[in-house]
Structure 1
């Protein structure tokens, strides 16, 4: 399906594909269930910060993550050919504090490891500065040469480990991982002329690196159609602002289509129009883990109201303590007073709390919460804290088990993306 997206759009059979960028088992289980129901491809991508040779913030190597996804997909009833694993932001970003030569050595080692582990779609993200790069924006030609080096490492690994040749995504105009909307809330749309020049630089770099054959397997280029988000709001897609970029889709070389990052929190109508306008590879992550967090916090509020519990999870307090004790993903990113920073830690749309769910204390608190709520939950508490699900639980169409509630909330967040991609394929 990946390599056919562009042809579908050129022939008028509009459709898209959602890339789920998360490592949380609950999110992946919900995505697998939706893919099974729709009969579509489950595309899951792990960032170089989440999963790498040193464990990332999840503690998983590429092979660990591949094994986890295989288990979840099998448990969800998906066939092996219905699952694709991708590497997101594959490049020097996690090691950008090092000189470029060292950072790229780590990135190339990761490229070989993800191919060995069975990753089939690689996003080559080399547009960010390393420690010894000029302070201005990294030149596109430099980013292209580094992407070609990563591609060469991946191609070599595919041959060595007898893996299928990977598909690639290129582009230097990549939003900040996890949302990077500026203070004015305005997002500059990619200029088609700049994009044309950028593609020429990448093609030349691939040729110089001796990986011309991989150029035909570049299935997308990352562009910015004007969508992004920060902790408070999302910039909603504006079709008129992206019209010139959309029109350039017909001029993309080979099998390339548009890949869009940071599409989290877009309204359903915007998603439908984005896919119609050829922005058809939609990457999401924080909006799904945010939905998970919303459901967990709602269940924690219910737990606090239930009488007779001898041992409560204290989930919200546990997470707050974790984020303050280990501020590398939380406090250092937030300005303001103590209460303002606490608010952002809990409710910011960037959902930095997602970095902390793999920690032992968080897992223990979640397990205690699930244990405490495996009992009939009074309907008034469901109406108070889960009003969107209370009716379905009351009539028996949704199980009152806490795990089912988590899955329902995540699937609700995923639904507009899957519907936008599927609906237009069916009606075009």
Structure 2
């Protein structure tokens, strides 16, 4: 099966042979390794994206600038033997969001610096998102203000690419997306984007970009972010409902050259993902699901080691992660409500997976390293896998490589996306 590029998605959809691309939104090295290993095996495009809060010119919450993130992906790709020409880097929600508590001009200056850093580092897919209000402004801005700020960022991207001798980026516009990382409450339904709103977003961006002399950049706008009606909360998932999105899907007939980009497609499963691609949601973004299943596998191995090795201790990895989260609650406390017992469960098992913010801490890395060392080369009885992770029973009764098991578990989720994108 031939590899699909971003530029081909709209034509493929309109020709009746829809294809998709999975966007892996994570900075966890093991998730990146799994995505790149999966790409090498399948030959598919590996689209890896970083968000404005996660990676920016000031470091973001990962401590990485765009070039650092690009270098990390390159290093892991070499290790996983994934060809460089299969890899695309994207920047998600690039705009003033990390600095929205500042006056608009100050926040936009930082956003311009961030976009320039992304483009210089070789990120070729740029989501222009200037929809959020800054200090003294409404929380959500009108289409015209948003488009003018997006055009300002696009001009920086165009100029930076030219100065660096790089191919100009492809752009995504639109901002009607689920809350980053999932909702904080139990969900019943999620309403798809209003078709008129989707058309108006594109109309205003086209008008503003043309007036700003950015017609060439406008031709490279390949996708529109919309809400398909999918979401996940801390404890439940709203699956894609194709009939509810028919009005939105119909707007693609009026948007030549565009496909939809769907955010928060985590936990949807194979059938809803395939339906999304069939309906023109050709870019499927996934992040928390991949770190959730990574945590699932780590906790299973922690339990296996507890049962198998007398001197390992009583689930020390889980205990250390609980201690880390309680010592630094800022990454979860606003998102997990309820009793102390309910919050304890959510800290470890919420679908929003806010535990992912803690894996890069030295204490977490040390306890994971101890788990790997304890189980490396050990023969785990099939019965222990049946008890703690039945799907991984294939790793039983032979020398265990914990790293391979973890990457296999993440790849297992990615295979559902690959199947959906290659109908």
Give the TM bin, normalised by the shorter chain: over 0.9
* Aligned twin of 1:207: 210
Does residue 240 in structure 1 map to residue 207 in structure 2?
no
Q: What residue is the counterpart of 2:402 in the other structure?
A: 402
Counterpart in the other structure of 1:419: 419
Match of 1:38 in 2: 42
Distance in structure 2 (CA, Å) of the matches to 1:166 and 1:45: 14
* Counterpart position of 1:171: 174
Query: Could you say which residue in structure 1 is the equivalent of 2:29?
Result: 25
SS at match of 1:108: helix
In structure 2, the CA distance between the partners of 1:272 and 1:142, relative to structure 1 (3 Å rule), is same
Greater Cα shift, 19-28 or 68-77: 68-77
In structure 2, the residue matched to 1:258 is 260
2:274 match? 272
Which residue is 2:79 aligned to?
Answer: 75
Taking a change above 3 Å as real, the CA distance of residues 308 and 183 of structure 1, as seen in their structure-2 partners, is closer
What SS class does the counterpart of residue 222 from structure 1 fall into? strand
Q: Which residue of 2 aligns with 1:372?
A: 374
Render the CA deviation track for 1:267-310: whole Å, top value 9, x for unaligned.
21111111111111100000000000000111111122233326
How many pairs are equivalent? Answer: 418
The Cα shift of 1:144 comes to 1.2
Q: Which residue of 1 aligns with 2:150?
A: 147
**For residues 185 and 143 of structure 2, what CA distance do their matches in structure 1 show?**
22
Give 1:307-386 correspondences, 5 Å limit.
Answer: 307-309=309-311, 314-374=316-376, 375-386=378-389
On the 8 A contact 1:127/1:173 being kept in 2, the answer is: no
SS of alignment partner, residue 405 of structure 1: helix
Q: Is the 8 A contact 2:187 2:233 kept in 1?
A: no
Structure 1 55/312 Cα, relative in aligned 2: closer, same or farther at 3 Å? farther
CA shift for structure 1 position 313: 7.5
1:60, distance to aligned residue in structure 2 (A): 1.1
SS in 2 for 1:316: helix
1:364-402 residue CA offsets vs partner (Å, 9 max, x unmatched): 111111111112223322221111111x22487xx7311
Residue 114 of structure 2 corresponds to 110
Distance 2:105 2:180 in 1: 22
Q: Which moved more, 1:312-321 or 1:350-359?
A: 312-321
Across the aligned residues of Structure 1 and Structure 2, the Cα RMSD in angstroms comes to: 1.7
CA distance in 2, matches of 1:370, 1:377: 13
1:160 aligns with 2:153: no
- 2:136 is aligned, of 127, 132, 135, to 132
TM-score by length of 2: 0.95
The unaligned stretches of length 5 or more in structure 2 are none
1:198 to 188, 201, 226: 201
Select between 210-219 and 374-383 the one with higher mean Cα deviation.
Answer: 374-383
Unaligned runs of 5+ in 1: none
- Distance in 1 between residues matched to 2:236 and 2:212, nearest whole Å: 41
Cα pair distance change 1:185/1:94, threshold 3 Å? farther
Question: Matches of 2:388 and 2:206 in 1, distance apart?
Answer: 53
**Is the alpha carbon distance of 1:35 and 1:227 closer, same or farther for their aligned partners in structure 2, counting shifts above 3 Å?**
same
- Residues 313 and 365 of structure 1 are in contact (CA less than 8 Å); yes or no, is this contact kept in structure 2? no
CA distance in 1, matches of 2:334, 2:185: 17
